[in-house]
Amino acid sequence: MLPIDLSGKRALVAGVADDGGFGFAIAKALAQAGASVCVATWPPALNIFLTMLERGKLDESRTLPDGSMFSFEKIYPLDAAYDTLDSVPADVRESKRYADLGDFTISGLKARLVEDFGEQPLDIVFHSLANGPEVKKPLLEVSRKGYLEAVGTSAYSLLSLLQQLGPIMRPGGSVCSLTYMASERVIPGYGGGMSSAKAALESDTRTLAFEAGHKWGLRVNTISAGPYASRAAKAIGIIQAMVDYCATNAALPETLEAMDVGYTAAFLASPLAAGITGTTLYVDKGYHAMGMAVDPSSLGVAADS
């Protein structure tokens, strides 16, 4: 037996606001492997998330295969668009959704973790953060502001998290993120500069693997997940069409499940993946390997062949 055992490890999953996406599945898989799991949630979604937890709306989703239910060790507010509190515009800082949260920036998250758990509290950091305010716009129509926001929140935030959290991670720790194949191939409809953001994320993963590996003994990887119809992904507008297309044309002609990504994240965080860093790992039912769309009628074969 070769188990994934994360007992005694503490993980932070940044970007969990409900039970419908990859972030929650990753947190669940890490908990199933024995890790203590903290999450960081975007402030405008925080109260809704906490209310759902308190009212038991997420109990079924939090139930593990053995019948037990995992809990989040801590839930922190995090707006990864901001590195420090003094960089937050006054209108954001004073708005109803932010005013009573304290320091919700990336540096504030570091301070809270150290205060709650000591000087080196983390073994695992997972970056499940992305936002493209103009994602429905073709690249030719994206504004400078929209483009930079997409890259800043979806890619630079990984660098900022590692700058802050790297020094408080234990040697041998794992840092991972989520990317998408629009980084390397054209996906019409996936706009707003998000393809550029994902390309930057993958490039940074390689460089950060070298730098963080030498500086702190950390591994840095990214998972290129297939399309999944989470609540957040619905902002793209064509997500169900993307899911259906990939399910038809992948090497394994079936729909990707969130836990497929969750279990891969747990593996990458474990000692079993100690030799893997600087890697983009595809979890997309083999769709990335295909060079031609599958149209059974045009090939003269039965649909189920």
Active site includes 180? yes
Catalytic residue among 190, 228, 263, 287: 190
Catalytic residue among 82, 98, 180, 287: 180
What does the DSSP assignment read for the chain? ------TT-EEEEE---SSSSHHHHHHHHHHHTT-EEEEEE-HHHHHHHHHHHHTTTTTTTTB-TTS-B---SEEEE--TT-SSGGGS-HHHHTSTTTTTS---SHHHHHHHHHHHH-SS-EEEEEE-----TTTTS-GGG--HHHHHHHHIIIIIHHHHHHHHHGGGEEEEEEEEEEE-GGGTS--TT--TTHHHHHHHHHHHHHHHHHHHHHHH--EEEEEEEPP---TGGGGGS-HHHHHHHHHHHSSS-S---HHHHHHHHHHHHSGGGTT--S-EEEESTTGGG--S---HHHHTS-TT-
Active site residues: 180, 190
